[in-house]
Amino acid sequence: MSTAANQSIDIREVPEHTVEIITNSGEGAQKCAQIFGQTCAKMGNGVWTVEIIPAEIEPPHHTVTSTSGNIIRFGTEKITNWGDQSRLAMAFNDQVLLSRHRLDSLRDDCIILLDSCWEKHEDEEIRRMYDEAMEEMSSKNYRFILVPIEEEALKIVD
């Protein structure tokens, strides 16, 4: 049944896709990605996951060295490796995203869902770091979608 609401949705089937879920160490990105990977597999897709583990045991938060998460590659056929570069990244802060950018792990046209709270953060140093990170990443054709994660989460839990 076609309705006005679903006529504007552009749904594309692709044979495979690579996604990264990244945040500070200890914030649950690996668990989130494992659940996502398991869901993809239960839907009949081939799946390959790789953990992103920080070099330090307890790195300082909101730094490029604190990056933790997973790369999830899934597709309609058997998946035998983690692929080359991610097409979609869910980043909970600008610094963990910057670390993945510097490692060239994101496609030039990667769609990036980024928590919007850093752009107007109350801490001037955090805002400066955000601006510098965004400037450095502007050399690519990333498609940034700023998401008010905390604001949306509070609508559900309050």
**Per-residue model confidence (pLDDT) at position 130:** 97
**Per-residue model confidence (pLDDT) at position 117:** 94
Q: Is residue 129 part of a domain?
A: yes
Q: Is residue 108 part of a domain?
A: yes
Predicted TM-score of the model (pTM)? 0.86
**Using one digit for the tens of pLDDT, what is the confidence trace for 39-75?**
999 999 999 999 999 878 888 889 999 999 999 999 9
Cα 29 from Cα 105, distance rounded (Å): 17
DSSP 2: -
**Using one digit for the tens of pLDDT, what is the confidence trace for 114-137?**
999 999 999 999 999 999 999 999
Cα 82 from Cα 72, distance rounded (Å): 7
Give the phi and the psi of residue 94 in degrees, each rounded to 5.
-65, -30
Q: Is residue 118 part of a domain?
A: yes
CATH code of the domain containing 139: 3.40.920.10
**Per-residue model confidence (pLDDT) at position 5:** 53
- 47 is in which domain, residue-wise? 15-157
pLDDT band of residue 147 (cuts 50, 70, 90) is very high
> Of 89 and 15, which is predicted with more confidence?
89
